[in-house]
Structure 1
């Protein structure tokens, strides 16, 4: 009798843990979406690359404090692997912020950027000959159809924001692949700190070459920068790492699909954005591509 009670109690604890993880991950997707809004507001006064440089350098240094022991323990080849991921991540985020700077519709940009998830297995197959799941051959046409609806509304004339977002998605997919390989043998805290600081270094370098810096920071600039550093970057990644330690990757994968949906909703509320019918259909196809790409994870999540 006692063993049965203990078994029920253990199951209840596991279910409670999974529910807590799901709720935290749901919060993470909201933080990610809110971060789009913070960044867009900051760009009203910040040069885009300088904003990214300040945001990621500050967030990376915040992680250096708790991760200093792990950083000291890294070997030379681990530093090189971490730096490589950071450089690709820096290039990706530089394209992303330029996309945001030139974007007409925030929600549209979020859906284009989310294509990185669909591109990961395809690029893994091209570069590393890793056989992709069969679902990619369903997800990829849906994603292409969605992109076509977004960029071909007035003939083949994609705007700069769309091109920057798509370039960011390509680089983010490669970053995800390299990050997964590096994370298997490197402390997550150390790897994250190095990545974020290097994003700042890349952005600072590009900003110094191509942008004029403001003479002073206004209170509004400080507000959006601090919110982006603390809420949009440091808190988001910290909660995401914690929640992923409580839940299986399949659960996390399904819930994280919600980020572009929340972004579109927040953009409609905060910036009163409205999409044309073709844009809505394009974003819907991209969302279906994301779900198709994670179909096996979605099935396991529904059967939980």
Structure 2
């Protein structure tokens, strides 16, 4: 393994850890403010944390492309950001409200199902799906049953919200994948975070009692959820994925759910039953199995480089 690949894998694992522990910050934050208020403030902080990177990127772009192309591109970015940000709003809202009724660990694993949902939704875009993907879906579904479905065959309300949220996260990935081929990824992220923040704050003003006096009590979870999870996490992911193999990225990013469970156990004292841990293990196996195509591509690349 090349030195750059090792470095990228470590950075992606660090990103997964940051995002995994963010579930703890999100849950703690809602002890003082509403779900939509927390998301509104969190994503505006994340947007602000991207401003230095945007400034550097803008200077480089002007030097190479010129001002006219910059104006045209910005119009496309705003349009793409509004769409991506709206989808992000639904995913983040469902996740945040779901955390009121479920644990950080369970929310992390269920949210991770977006890895499985992406190839399924890809069928509607005429993307090919192999047998391994469907096997991964089956294994993950069995795991979800063990984790969330109780006696009497009913699912907890919070878990249900996280499942629906995972579908929106999968849609968000497909939307971002579509637009990043046309506009600059960093600018797209900034606009979508601002959009998500505005939609969240509007919803908060309608449905929640907002008190600025409680902000100091929630400042640490907000800073972590905004700057670390959004700003630092996003930057690390972009840097790392330039040199990471798809299979390594899939393994590293799926560990987000594991770190969410570890964070919930260590910081919130959340303990699952043996049945729950079995469900988590099966879901993780299903997530990795659904990424079989990525592992296959890596093997082909290795054999090709050896023959050359």
Q: How does 1:52-201 map to 2 (within 5 A)?
A: 52-67=39-54, 69=58, 72=71, 74-103=73-102, 105-125=103-123, 127-201=124-198
Question: Structure 1, residues 194-253: CA drift from partner, whole Å, max 9, x if none?
Answer: 111111112112211111112413533122212222212211111111111232333212
Q: Does the 8 Å CA contact 1:57/1:198 hold for their aligned counterparts?
A: no
The answer on 1:292 being equivalent to 2:289 is yes
Distance 1:168 1:38, change over 3 A: same
SS at match of 1:136: helix
Question: Structure 1, residues 159-215: CA drift from partner, whole Å, max 9, x if none?
Answer: 221111011101111111111011112111101111111111121122111111124
Question: Structure 1, residues 237-292: CA drift from partner, whole Å, max 9, x if none?
Answer: 11111111232333212211111111111211111211112211221211111010
The Cα of 1:93 is off from its aligned counterpart by: 0.3
The Cα of 1:56 is off from its aligned counterpart by: 0.3
In the other structure, the counterpart of 2:12 is: 25
- Structure 2, unaligned runs of 5 or more: 62-69, 303-308
The answer on 1:41 being equivalent to 2:28 is yes
CA separation in 2, counterparts of 1:124 and 1:107? Answer: 27
Q: 2:232 aligns with which of 210, 232, 235?
A: 235
SS at match of 2:31: coil
Q: Does the 8 Å CA contact 2:85/2:196 hold for their aligned counterparts?
A: yes
CA separation in 2, counterparts of 1:21 and 1:157? Answer: 41
Q: Does the 8 Å CA contact 1:135/1:293 hold for their aligned counterparts?
A: yes
Q: Does the 8 Å CA contact 2:246/2:295 hold for their aligned counterparts?
A: no
Question: Structure 1, residues 84-119: CA drift from partner, whole Å, max 9, x if none?
Answer: 11110111101110011221x221111111111101
Q: Does the 8 Å CA contact 1:56/1:197 hold for their aligned counterparts?
A: yes
CA separation in 1, counterparts of 2:74 and 2:12? Answer: 32
Q: Does the 8 Å CA contact 2:47/2:190 hold for their aligned counterparts?
A: yes
CA separation in 2, counterparts of 1:265 and 1:301? Answer: 30
Q: Does the 8 Å CA contact 1:61/1:197 hold for their aligned counterparts?
A: no
Distance 1:198 1:276, change over 3 A: same
Distance 1:218 1:203, change over 3 A: closer
Distance 1:203 1:134, change over 3 A: same
Q: Does the 8 Å CA contact 1:29/1:259 hold for their aligned counterparts?
A: yes
Q: TM-score, normalised by structure 2?
A: 0.87
In the other structure, the counterpart of 2:64 is: none
CA separation in 2, counterparts of 1:47 and 1:75? Answer: 33
Q: Does the 8 Å CA contact 1:64/1:190 hold for their aligned counterparts?
A: no
In the other structure, the counterpart of 1:244 is: 241
Distance 1:195 1:133, change over 3 A: farther
- Structure 1, unaligned runs of 5 or more: 1-13
In the other structure, the counterpart of 2:38 is: 51
